[in-house]
Amino acid sequence: MDGHRPTGHPPTHSGGGNPVPPPSRTLTTVVHTAFFLLLGSSVARFLLRHPGEPRTPWIIALSITLALLYVLGPTTAKATARATATATADGPTPRHLVWLALVVTTWVVLVVLAPSFAWCAVPLFYTALRTLPPRAAVVLVALLTAFVVAAQLKLSAAFDPNLLLAPPAVAALATAVFVHMERQTQAQRTLIDDLIRTRRELAATERREGTLAERQRLSMEIHDTLAQNLSSQQMLLQAAERTWDADPATARAHVRTATGIAARGLAEARRLVHDLAPSELADGVPLADALRGLDAGPEVTVRFHLEGAPVPLPARTQSALLRIAQGALANVREHAGARTAALTLSFLGDQVVLDIADDGRGFTAPPAGPGAPDRGHGLPAMRARVRQLGGTLTVESTPSEGTVLSAALPLPPSSPTPLEPPR
Here the CATH number for the domain that contains residue 298 is 3.30.565.10
pLDDT at 1 over 90: no
Least confident stretch, 40-49, 128-137, 201-210, 394-403: 128-137
Report the number of distinct structural domains present in the chain: 2
Please check whether residue 138 lies inside any domain of the structure: yes
Contact of 368 with 376, CB cutoff 8 Å: no
Q: Of 72-86, 151-165, 181-195, which range is least confident?
A: 72-86
Pick the more confident residue, 313 or 93. Answer: 313
Q: Over the chain, what is the mean pLDDT?
A: 76
Per-residue confidence (pLDDT) for residue 410, from 0 to 100:
92
Q: Does 178 fall in a domain?
A: no
Of the candidate ranges 21-35, 84-98, 219-233, 334-348, the one whose mean pLDDT is the lowest = 84-98
- Band (85; pLDDT cuts 50, 70, 90): very low
**Last-in-domain residue among 125, 159, 193:** 159
- C-alpha to C-alpha distance for 287 and 50, rounded to whole angstroms: 100
CB 312 within 8 A of CB 281: no
Q: Is the dihedral of CA 117, 122, 125, 131 positive or negative?
A: negative
Mean pLDDT (whole number) for 257-261: 85
Q: Which of 159, 187, 221 is the last residue of a domain?
A: 159
What are all long-range contacts of 138-144, with beta carbons under 8 Å and residues at least 24 apart? 138/175, 140/104, 141/171, 141/174, 141/175, 142/171, 144/104, 144/171
In a domain, 313, yes or no: yes
11 in a structural domain: no
For residues 204-217, give the mean pLDDT: 79
Q: How confident is the model at residue 102 (pLDDT cuts 50, 70, 90)?
A: confident
Res 247 pLDDT > 70: yes
Higher pLDDT, 334 or 152: 334
Residue 2 — pLDDT band, cuts 50, 70, 90? very low
Instruction: Look up the domain containing 87 and give its range.
Output: 25-159
When pLDDT is averaged across residues 24-38 and rounded to a whole number, the result is 77
Q: Which of 268-272, 296-300, 351-355 has the lowest mean pLDDT?
A: 268-272
Return the percentage of the chain with pLDDT > 90, whole number.
Answer: 9
Segment 29-39 mean pLDDT: 82
Query: What pLDDT digit, counting tens, does each position of 271-319 carry?
Result: 665 555 566 666 667 888 888 888 887 888 899 999 988 888 888 888 8
pLDDT greater than 60 at residue 373: no
47 in a structural domain:
yes
The pairing of beta strand 403-410 with beta strand 392-397:
antiparallel
Q: Which of 111, 135, 159 is the last residue of a domain?
A: 159
Nearest Cα to Cα of residue 22 among 74, 66, 75: 74
Q: Could you give the CA distance from residue 307 to residue 344 in angstroms, rounded to a whole number?
A: 7
Determine, yes or no, domain membership for 73: yes
409 closest CA partner among 394, 392, 385: 392
- Name the pLDDT band for 321 (thresholds 50, 70, 90): very high
Residue 311 in any domain: the answer is yes
Q: How confident is the model at residue 342 (pLDDT cuts 50, 70, 90)?
A: very high
Q: What percent of the chain has pLDDT over 70?
A: 77
Whether residue 261 lies inside any domain: the answer is: no
